[in-house]
Each structure stands twice: as structure tokens, then as C-alpha cells.
Amino acid sequence: MDVIKTVREMRVYADKQRAEGRTLALVPTMGYLHEGHLSLVQRAKTEADHVIVSIFVNPTQFGPNEDFAAYPRDFETDCRLLEEIGGVDAVFAPEASALYPEGAGAQRVWVICPELSEHLCGKYRPEHFKGVLTVVLKLFAVCKPHISVFGLKDVQQYMLLRQLVRGLLLDVRIIGEPTARESNGLAYSSRNEYLTADERSQASVLWKAVTAAAGMIEDGEDRPDTVVEEMRTIIAQAPLANLQYAEVVTGDTLQPVTKLVPGIEVIVAVAVYFRCVRLIDNAFALVPSG
């Protein structure tokens, strides 16, 4: 497994693979890898000849009061895990100065997509997706993948990245991989590390809430408010949980749904704090027709 640190080296490497006729898959990550990331890598291996994993904690997607400085980092363990699962050809691990040569604070060109960023996490993390879209475009420009794999836990990010590719005519296929979960249903996340044992066990309410909500919709409940109320009730069963949002949005535009119209696909989503640790989860549901 090659470890590549500079933009120039990464470009040369990607050009060489492409010239030799290989398809390239990129799995962008912020490191501190867990089963969720490894499932993205496994998927990438089935979709392309050559797999690149990027590890970069992107400063521009963290708000001023968020956990950029404290975000967990362990590059050696990440590389060991990738070696162990095998099939990863290269790790791209640039310094911040490589992706933001003038400094992250001096970035002057941004990718934004206001409509899809309006609700869910975008409402509470106003600059977050601007940072994500911008860094992923940079990673695409440098790593030159044919395919890129993202987790569906971050469903709004996934939808925005599909829009990035469509809207800017990028020649990259975005793949969404279903959320990998711990045995109690909690979605894998690097931030789970911050939870105490009690919090970790109570955090299964996120999964319970979105699963119950999706089930209600598929069983014919047609009032979004009732579905949201059910998610709130389930989250409230965890005394350490503080709900940030519970929403039902359309599966394509991510706008809040006022009526569950037969045949449409919707997403039920929650964000919950355990102290300062923010966790998210979601599920898709198809509103039954008739």
C-alpha cells in the first residue's frame, strides 16, 4: 500500500493508473477508521481495479465551536487496518497546506448548493456542506477517481455530492453504501469514541427512532407530524439524549414533507446530542400507493 502525501505525487500516481487502463475508486475519509469506513472500502474493491483511501481531517467543514482540534486522529492504526483488510492500493494523506496552500482561512473559491443544504444538518451547521463539497471537489481533482464511495449515514452529504457531480459535469460515479451498525443498531461513527458506556448503549435510540418511523410510513401512516412525534418519543426514552432535530423530508430534494403522498420516497432523519457529541441517523421509506 503506497502512502502519498503531496498533490503532485498523487496526480502522477493517478495519471499512471489511468494510463495503464485501471479504474480508480476513491474512498474519502477523515481517518480514525471503523467498520463503517471498511465497508466503504470493501464496496470500492468490488467496483474498481484500484482503490485509494484519502485520510484528511478537513478544517473547512467544522464550525468555529465544533470539534476540529479534538477530532480523533490515529494515522498508524488507520494504515494498519487498511493493510489488514487488504486490497487498498494507496492512501492519500495530505497536510492541510497541500489542499489549502494559502491556508484554510484564505480559501476564496467555494462550492455551495443552498437548496439541498437548507434542512437537516445544514440548518444547524451552516458552513459544513460548503466545506465538504469544496474539499471533495479538490480530492476528485487530485485523485482523479472514476468512482467514489460514501456512507449513507451521511445521507445529506451523499445527496449533495451527487448534485456536485451532476451540476458540475464531473466524470465520477458516486456510490452510496448502506450504514454499517454496531450490534445494538448504533451507526458506526468516529465520534462514538467520545461516548461513555452508558451513552453508547442509549445511543441505539437513534436507530430505533428512524426504524420505527420508516415502519410507520410503510404501514400507511400518512401524517408526517405523527411520525416526527413518534421519533421524539423514542429519543426521549434515553435520559442522556438531547434531540436536535427529527424530520421527514423528500428523498430527492430533502425538503420537509407536509403530506405523505402515495408512491414517494422519503427520508426520516434525526440528530441527537449526548453531552457535546452529536450523532445522526436516517432511514428511507417508500410511502405505500393505495
Q: What is the per-residue binding string for ligand PAF in 53-92, x denoting contact by CB under 6 A?
A: -----x--x-------------------------------
**Interaction between residue 29 and ligand PAF (CB under 6 A):** yes
Q: What is the CA radius of gyration of the chain?
A: 19
Closest CB to ligand PAF among residues 174, 228: 174
What is the rounded distance in angstroms from the CA atom of residue 86 to the CA atom of residue 63? 35
Residue 147 phi/psi, 5-degree rounding, is -135, 145
Q: Report in angstroms how near the CB of residue 58 gets to ligand PAF at its nearest.
A: 4
Distances (CA, A) of 55 to 1, 5, 33, 224: 14, 10, 9, 39
Part of the chain binding ligand PAF (CB under 6 A), chosen from 28-36, 39-47, 214-222, 232-240? 28-36
Question: Please, are residues 285 and 265 in contact by the beta-carbon 8 Å criterion?
Answer: yes
**Interaction between residue 132 and ligand PAF (CB under 6 A):** yes
Q: Report in angstroms how near the CB of residue 231 gets to ligand PAF at its nearest.
A: 23
Part of the chain binding ligand PAF (CB under 6 A), chosen from 88-96, 119-127, 128-136, 276-284? 128-136
Task: List helix spans (H) across 119-182.
Answer: 120-124, 128-143, 155-167
Closest CB to ligand PAF among residues 174, 235: 174
Q: Report in angstroms how near the CB of residue 222 gets to ligand PAF at its nearest.
A: 33
Part of the chain binding ligand PAF (CB under 6 A), chosen from 4-12, 85-93, 131-139, 244-252? 131-139
CB atoms within 10 A of CB 178: 12
Closest CB to ligand PAF among residues 63, 220: 63
Q: Is 146 a catalytic residue?
A: no
Question: Please, are residues 22 and 63 in contact by the beta-carbon 8 Å criterion?
Answer: no
What is the rounded distance in angstroms from the CA atom of residue 207 to the CA atom of residue 280? 9
Question: Please, are residues 175 and 158 in contact by the beta-carbon 8 Å criterion?
Answer: no
**Interaction between residue 235 and ligand PAF (CB under 6 A):** no
Closest CB to ligand PAF among residues 155, 203: 155
Closest CB to ligand PAF among residues 155, 206: 155
What is the rounded distance in angstroms from the CA atom of residue 144 to the CA atom of residue 80? 25
Distances (CA, A) of 269 to 187, 232, 254, 281: 13, 11, 10, 6
**Interaction between residue 133 and ligand PAF (CB under 6 A):** no
Task: List helix spans (H) across 20-64.
Answer: 35-47
Active site residues: 37
Residues binding ligand PAF (CB under 6 A): 28-30, 58, 61, 132, 135-136, 154, 157
